[in-house]
Structure 1
């Protein structure tokens, strides 16, 4: 059975697997396109439409269409459709079901085992939510890996035998991150990463939407604002995306804005567009410079290649600005498909390695033979290592004994090597406490801070304390962050001789919620 890699994007998604000559191949969807819009249309209570048709439906039925749901992953929010609330995990699961079903139709092979990619700067809650989305979709999620790692795997396959340091600049539809990675003898090591999961091509689109609306308002000041009408707004969003794509190859383009029986012709030049969005591009440059500064502090003084990934990196101003700022000519590395292809390669290699580790050598060799791998290639896969880092700092909320000031004690720092397993000692604050509240905190800003307001609470739970204990009774907290960026927290006390564990639930859905969602949504038709 084939294993698959899925690029679950904010605006577009795609799925790939390794073919019989060991090449990563993207599977075209039922509409014969490489990528599928990450848009969900709740047509009826029993039928959900995903993809281009859903995107087109947003113009007529904007209240029944959900897009950019990736930005809500890890948040405890819902969208109500036909009287039923849906979590971000459930909505993302519909996109995953569409990708899987179309791949099965294209290949005739069942899609079960998958690796799903996430932005490098996704935290524990977002990564866990992505894993749960896959489970709700009925998939076995082998692993969650960062998009730049997937891109680096693709880059390494296309440039075999090259030892180098690369800077991956990943500007997707809804997220941005930048990562320094070393490739050495086929091994991949992430040096550091940084980013902003609320910055992406969709923000460039938003600026164009406002520009088109403003051009209409200037020409027709006597009619209502086009952005006050949901249908007109959705049409403007479609027009803005097409305008952005057009200005990639053309220097100017004209859009007809129609609203309330009136029409305005808005001519937009590439120069207009770049001036309008300069601050957004500058934010990506600032983050990139911060990443390079962190890399230097870790001993990586320079990089050999600048690799552009993500559909939005195709905007001419991106390559021009980066070349000027960094003095290196960027390489546009199959920006729309590189991540899915890398995920497919990783899924194949990880499954092969796990089969070998589990003693299933015959099954592993059969898998390698189907992919046409030589014995040398099999050995390289078996020996390849991938090392990554924490995307953010993680800790718990603590209280100063003397001042009673609340602060965050970070156990794992941003860009610490993974896996991380850190244990620190704490103590009760008052006499006769019967419980300790464990509040797990995650860095929210660009840099780690002990101020509570600069962190997000991503989980909480209580640890029971034996009765009659004085203030200062010791407890121990352990943070285990695996290579996927998924966090496990335990808290314990040892005096009674019994270990008390607190398994903190990360994210908005419990495993029971996931099982219930998978069952309740399985009867819905996804097309």
Structure 2
């Protein structure tokens, strides 16, 4: 029974599974690379290309190429291609289908059961959208787990003989997270997490693109601005990404910028690059300091490991700044593949435990035998626990005072332990009120606030009230956040043994829409 782990990244994605000696193995794509650019080229209405060719096509046909779609997950932000609107879930599903298709070719096995990773700071709507993207792709999503947890598993820190605290600094292509975890007896417990899902390697790219464009303009003031051309801008983005990577290993590099038949050579040193992007690095350090302070308030005041995750953490400036700030030598190992490998290990362990708990002993034994697990390893997997926390605060809009001032009453708070189930009582405002609007809100900024504008609506519904009830008629709202960070909300009124339940739809797509999209998009070829 093969199960797979998928790192669905902003800029690059990859897929892994467990080999016959119990190790996580990344499956190369049809182009021979471990990672696949998360770029989608809608070549025709019936054919979609994902990966490097799609990325290369962006220079010539930018209007038909989508990238960075991960930043739109959980939002109502459709893109129209060839006259047809596609939701972020549907666009992400094309990336997932490409990964699954290539893995199937590599292994000869059908890819069905998967675990998909998300940034630790992803909220309920983004996690739900990621799960539904898997459904649209025709995959059975076993679980959604946070990238730092997957990375921690890969780094091999989950050893029974090692009890420690670990700080994970995850700087990827489009998101940034910091997470503090406690490791005891092979178990992992997230203490707290923080981050910014609009901060990542693409921001460094944006800075370089602007610098290259300005340098060209200074030498050729008589031609149009390079960024006025979609084709030139896309070319600059490719140059910027290569320049960023090159300056992680070299102290200077020269890039050639071409626009309207003119050419400019732009030399940039690593020191100049670090100066240009110092404000971005400082933003990551500020979030990391905030995470460390939260951990201290929860009793964790020292760390034994500082783990770097994400391709951008290769930049020398990252390790230097973190070592200076926290006095620990950062551990950088396989940052591009660590998350997918950890997801594969988690997928295997979770499936093994579920088989045992459901009485499917023979199937579990077959899995263990195929992976070459020893009896000791089997016992470790059976007993291992992973506990995490809420990434943000969640609540509903309520009113207070005679002026009926609207505010957000949070039921679940950031860094509350998961799973969590919280019930609070509310009441109607008027006599004979027929319905109560339940509007589910999620913390939008870095800090919890009860101001409505500081939160984002992620779901809503309406609860009917029995006729003739006076104001103050009681209702109950329950928030249940599972260990994966997926949210379920129920509103109810109780009278004479009657109970009315209202499930709030979290996220943009219903399960019916997921099934419909899966059927319609299956007719589109993915290469």
Q: Is the TM-score greater than 0.5?
A: yes
Show the counterpart of 1:178: 178
Q: CA deviation at 1:98?
A: 0.3
Q: CA deviation at 1:412?
A: 0.3
Show the counterpart of 1:71: 71
- After TM superposition, the structure 1 = structure 2 runs for residues 367-382 of structure 1, keeping only pairs within 5 Å, are 367-382=367-382
Show the counterpart of 1:464: 464
- Measure the CA separation in 1 of the matches of 2:169 and 2:496: 52
Superposition RMSD in Å:
0.8
Q: CA deviation at 1:160?
A: 6.2
- Measure the CA separation in 2 of the matches of 1:83 and 1:243: 36
Show the counterpart of 1:278: 278
- Measure the CA separation in 1 of the matches of 2:237 and 2:505: 37
Show the counterpart of 1:358: 358
- Measure the CA separation in 1 of the matches of 2:294 and 2:470: 44
Q: Does the 8 A contact of 1:156 with 1:162 survive in 2?
A: no
1:246 aligns with 2:246: yes
Q: Does the 8 A contact of 1:477 with 1:492 survive in 2?
A: yes
- After TM superposition, the structure 1 = structure 2 runs for residues 5-24 of structure 1, keeping only pairs within 5 Å, are 5-24=5-24
Q: CA deviation at 1:324?
A: 0.8
- Measure the CA separation in 2 of the matches of 1:468 and 1:38: 56
C-alpha offsets along residues 351-396 of structure 1, whole Å, 9 cap, x if unaligned?
Answer: 0000000000111011000000011110100000000000000000
1:454 aligns with 2:454: yes
Q: CA deviation at 1:159?
A: 5.8
Show the counterpart of 2:219: 219
Q: CA deviation at 1:156?
A: 2.8
The 1:492/1:159 distance shift into structure 2, 3 A limit, reads closer
Show the counterpart of 1:429: 429
- Measure the CA separation in 2 of the matches of 1:98 and 1:145: 21
Show the counterpart of 1:196: 196
- Measure the CA separation in 2 of the matches of 1:183 and 1:159: 8
- Measure the CA separation in 2 of the matches of 1:75 and 1:443: 14
C-alpha offsets along residues 140-175 of structure 1, whole Å, 9 cap, x if unaligned?
Answer: 000000000001111236866322110000000000
Unaligned runs of 5+ in 1: none
C-alpha offsets along residues 88-122 of structure 1, whole Å, 9 cap, x if unaligned?
Answer: 00000000000000001011111000000000000
Q: Does the 8 A contact of 1:127 with 1:485 survive in 2?
A: yes
- Measure the CA separation in 2 of the matches of 1:280 and 1:512: 41
- After TM superposition, the structure 1 = structure 2 runs for residues 438-449 of structure 1, keeping only pairs within 5 Å, are 438-449=438-449
Q: Does the 8 A contact of 1:401 with 1:429 survive in 2?
A: no
The 1:251/1:158 distance shift into structure 2, 3 A limit, reads farther
Q: Does the 8 A contact of 2:431 with 2:469 survive in 1?
A: yes
- Measure the CA separation in 2 of the matches of 1:15 and 1:44: 26
1:122 aligns with 2:122: yes
Q: CA deviation at 1:328?
A: 1.1
Show the counterpart of 1:484: 484
Unaligned runs of 5+ in 2: none
Show the counterpart of 1:146: 146
Q: Does the 8 A contact of 1:156 with 1:183 survive in 2?
A: no
- Measure the CA separation in 2 of the matches of 1:186 and 1:158: 5
Show the counterpart of 1:498: 498
The 1:446/1:255 distance shift into structure 2, 3 A limit, reads same
Q: CA deviation at 1:411?
A: 0.2
- Measure the CA separation in 1 of the matches of 2:274 and 2:131: 37
Show the counterpart of 1:384: 384
Q: CA deviation at 1:489?
A: 0.3
In structure 2, the residue corresponding to 1:156 is in which secondary structure? coil
C-alpha offsets along residues 208-247 of structure 1, whole Å, 9 cap, x if unaligned?
Answer: 0000000000000000011000001000000000000000
- Measure the CA separation in 2 of the matches of 1:451 and 1:158: 40
- Measure the CA separation in 1 of the matches of 2:161 and 2:216: 55
Give the number of aligned pairs. 527
Show the counterpart of 2:408: 408
In structure 1, the residue corresponding to 2:248 is in which secondary structure? helix
Show the counterpart of 1:302: 302
- After TM superposition, the structure 1 = structure 2 runs for residues 77-88 of structure 1, keeping only pairs within 5 Å, are 77-88=77-88
Show the counterpart of 1:187: 187
Show the counterpart of 2:101: 101
C-alpha offsets along residues 21-74 of structure 1, whole Å, 9 cap, x if unaligned?
Answer: 000010011011100000000000000000000000000000000000000000
- Measure the CA separation in 2 of the matches of 1:355 and 1:496: 42
- Measure the CA separation in 1 of the matches of 2:497 and 2:429: 22
C-alpha offsets along residues 226-275 of structure 1, whole Å, 9 cap, x if unaligned?
Answer: 10000010000000000000000011110110000101110011111111
Farther off after superposition, 230-239 or 488-497? 488-497
Q: Does the 8 A contact of 1:115 with 1:142 survive in 2?
A: yes
In structure 2, the residue corresponding to 1:499 is in which secondary structure? strand
- Measure the CA separation in 1 of the matches of 2:444 and 2:301: 27
Q: Does the 8 A contact of 1:205 with 1:240 survive in 2?
A: yes
In structure 2, the residue corresponding to 1:389 is in which secondary structure? coil
Show the counterpart of 1:314: 314
- Measure the CA separation in 2 of the matches of 1:197 and 1:460: 23
TM-score, normalising length from structure 2?
0.99
1:393 aligns with 2:390: no
